[in-house]
Amino acid sequence: MNTAKQAKPDYPIHELLTKRWSPYAFSDRAVSDDDLRALFEAARWAASSYNEQPWSYIVATKANAAEFERVLSCLVEGNQAWAKAVPVLALGCTSLRFALNNNPNAAAVHDLGLASANLTLEATARGLFVHQMIGILPDKVRELYRVPDGVQPLTGLAIGYAADPNILPEKLRERDVAPRKRKKLAEFVFGGEWGTALPLVTSK
């Protein structure tokens, strides 16, 4: 664990949340099948609107070079540059309509995020790291994997073990070693009216 990346929260939170971060430098160490199954089992148990579970993942590991290259090709060029070293790549997709009645599912993207958050925390508990990215090529995912209409390819996930950031080009290395920063609670937790901080979060 790169202790420089450990979050320094203003209020006590679970250590899994302080340890979670998204590296660019990944080791080529393989992720075990047991660990990988556990990550997607964690995603399986995420909350979702009407228990729809609209998420799906397309997954490839370095153990199958051809399939790995196929998923890698669905990332934008900038992400391919570092993600090619990662042992596991996944593409997160979500169904935009409810299976029961075909009505639009306004929570579909939110629910994919919840599933991937579960996956990420399970990864952290196992000493793994997940770097999620919006920089994918949705049309290419749709073409290569015959993704049906009504399903949105949305995110990429790099899964593996963090490596020494010195293996990275300078610009990415700077990101990997930079301290983590977040907005203060008063900037996004409101009460009374929009933009007015809830007194609870300004009392410290």
pLDDT (average), residues 172-193: 94
Residue type, 34: D
DSSP tag of 190: B
Give the side-chain half-sphere CA count within 13 A for 149: 1
Query: Picking from 5-9, 75-79, 155-159, which range would have the lowest pLDDT averaged per residue?
Result: 5-9
List pLDDT tens digits, range 79-128. 999 999 999 999 999 999 999 899 999 999 999 999 999 999 999 999 99
Res. 47: pLDDT tops 70: yes
Q: Look at strands 88-95 and 151-160 and give their pairing.
A: antiparallel
Q: Note the pLDDT of residue 5.
A: 86
Domains in the chain, please, with CATH?
Answer: 11-171 (3.40.109.10)
Helices 108-125 and 33-44, axial angle in degrees (round to 10): 140
Predicted confidence band of residue 72 (pLDDT cuts 50, 70, 90): very high
Q: Note the pLDDT of residue 3.
A: 62
DSSP tag of 179: P
Task: List, edge to edge, every strand of the sheet that includes 129-133.
Answer: 55-61, 88-95, 151-160, 129-133
Mean of the per-residue pLDDT values of the chain: 95
Q: Note the pLDDT of residue 203.
A: 72
pLDDT (average), residues 25-42: 97
